[in-house]
Structure 1
């Protein structure tokens, strides 16, 4: 598949917000707003219909974000992973032995996978709420994403400059990771066709399900992460001081 089948070659990222120090963790709510983190400023921001507000101050180094099936916000923080309840209270889902949770993905069965590059670990929070180490063979686990079938887990190993893929067994156990593609990736997402979109050098690198690179979607600033929005037919991209949006031809994978 050519990259032109996934995105219009004339499409350009549109800047939707700027003036930050380092943006990360974009996630688009089904209620129509975008959340993302500004890590050095220690806050989570909300962008809705062109209006920018602060969702949470003193965010404890919040990085990766996602939602669960109830629309509750899941946050990677310093030393823990939390869930923001509907009433605004915060529940700690995992802590102890975690140095800095980096990125996470919510699975349809209710479990959560997240990375801690400082400990070279990939964790799983099981449906019963227990957290466990799922893999330790990835030296610098960073961004994480599920395949459309949720039978594979993709992880950016930033230290080794590769993307790894893990088969997911019933119950959530991970098989031994194998190299999927050469790429110094950060955040990543998949689309419904199984392609993998990775924030990397110069823009979003796009790989087909076999690991063949289809091309690069250039961005004005170095991207850190991306996530689907706009009816799951476009990507919000966090990139240094700004957030961008670009329309795609292929819909994104829904995990919440």
Structure 2
């Protein structure tokens, strides 16, 4: 399949040219970035002291959950009633022994969905705290390492799966880099089937839906780019193509990503969160003190929470994020 032309962007701070703008935590290649974030926007640390933060998701009822992979915990961060700023809330352990959970999201009933990289499965936590396994095997083999997931309006779940060739039970796992869909087969009953949609990505990582839910974006850590697919009426994927490149000599690869209501794409990568317009033009980078892994929209789907190594950061944005649950 043909790829759209990708314009190379400056890849280190020393390459930012005379027309670029640095504004307190934001490097702007184009002033259009300031339609997305305010000039002088600050990246604020709100939590620290963790091992490796990942998979953030903000609930509609007002709390943030995220994974701490090495410690095998899911943490929950909530603000006090009436509290306006993002910092100063309370963090508690939501779950111990999380099976090295990575990406998290919610369904339309507010039940948490999780990619569990340890056993290689996608689960749902019920209202009573019990866990339902939604996907675990494909064609008789255990999934390799489900990484990130997104829930759509039809009740389907799209997720990425990465190979794990060095684990002891590698021969029992699929060990194929692929994007899957957990398809809801009956509207009024919990009945699902798993289908593999594409193997086009070398190492599919973060996944996100476009604002109209007719496109799926995938961060390909292997190729250091973002691919976009059209979602057909039957929920399958077509016309996979390169949306944007995140090539850089700096450390880091495309990882987690989100979209906003106007079709801009935010992808964690080298030095921070790269911001692209709907055509794949790199507008600039939200620079973070630690290398980020993932991000999510905050209260009212406004503002960006960023998980970065040992900490969680926050940046106020001007455009609401895409609602998916």
Query: What's the TM-score bracket when you normalise by the shorter of the two chains?
Result: over 0.9
- Listed one character per residue, the Cα deviations across residues 96-152 of structure 1 (whole Å, up to 9, x for unaligned) are 131110000001110000001212100000012101101111110000000000110
Counterparts of 2:209 and 2:108 in 1: how far apart (Å)? 15
Match of 2:292 in 1: 223
How far is the alpha carbon of 1:193 from its aligned partner?
0.3
How far is the alpha carbon of 1:233 from its aligned partner?
1.4
Unaligned runs of 5+ in 2: 1-30, 80-88, 164-175, 186-191, 247-252
SS of the residue corresponding to residue 128 of structure 2 reads coil
Counterparts of 2:206 and 2:56 in 1: how far apart (Å)? 12
Match of 2:75 in 1: 45
Kindly report which structure 2 residues correspond to 1:93-112, keeping only aligned pairs within 5 A, or say none: 93-96=134-137, 97-112=142-157
Counterparts of 2:146 and 2:129 in 1: how far apart (Å)? 21
Counterparts of 2:199 and 2:39 in 1: how far apart (Å)? 39
- Listed one character per residue, the Cα deviations across residues 29-50 of structure 1 (whole Å, up to 9, x for unaligned) are 1111100000000010001121
How far is the alpha carbon of 1:176 from its aligned partner?
3.6
SS of the residue corresponding to residue 144 of structure 2 reads strand
Q: Which runs of 4+ in 1 moved over 6 A?
A: none
Match of 1:241 in 2: 310
Normalised by the size of structure 2, how large is the TM-score? 0.78
Aligned partner (choices 92, 106, 129) of residue 133 of structure 2: 92
How far is the alpha carbon of 1:64 from its aligned partner?
0.2
Counterparts of 2:72 and 2:277 in 1: how far apart (Å)? 35
Aligned partner (choices 114, 120, 130) of residue 177 of structure 2: 120
SS of the residue corresponding to residue 101 of structure 2 reads coil
Kindly report which structure 2 residues correspond to 1:1-256, keeping only aligned pairs within 5 A, or say none: 2-49=32-79, 50-78=89-117, 79-96=120-137, 97-118=142-163, 119-128=176-185, 129-183=192-246, 184-256=253-325
Counterparts of 2:122 and 2:324 in 1: how far apart (Å)? 18
Mapped contact 2:60–2:299 kept (Cα < 8 A): no
Q: Which has the higher strand share?
A: 1
Counterparts of 1:9 and 1:204 in 2: how far apart (Å)? 16
CA RMSD of superposed structures (Å): 0.9
- Listed one character per residue, the Cα deviations across residues 135-180 of structure 1 (whole Å, up to 9, x for unaligned) are 1111100000000001100000100111100000011110141111
SS of the residue corresponding to residue 127 of structure 2 reads coil
Mapped contact 2:178–2:196 kept (Cα < 8 A): yes
**Matched residues, number:** 256
SS of the residue corresponding to residue 200 of structure 2 reads coil
SS of the residue corresponding to residue 126 of structure 1 reads strand
Unaligned runs of 5+ in 1: none
- Listed one character per residue, the Cα deviations across residues 48-90 of structure 1 (whole Å, up to 9, x for unaligned) are 1211110000000100000001000000003100000011000
Counterparts of 1:182 and 1:246 in 2: how far apart (Å)? 23
Counterparts of 1:240 and 1:9 in 2: how far apart (Å)? 26
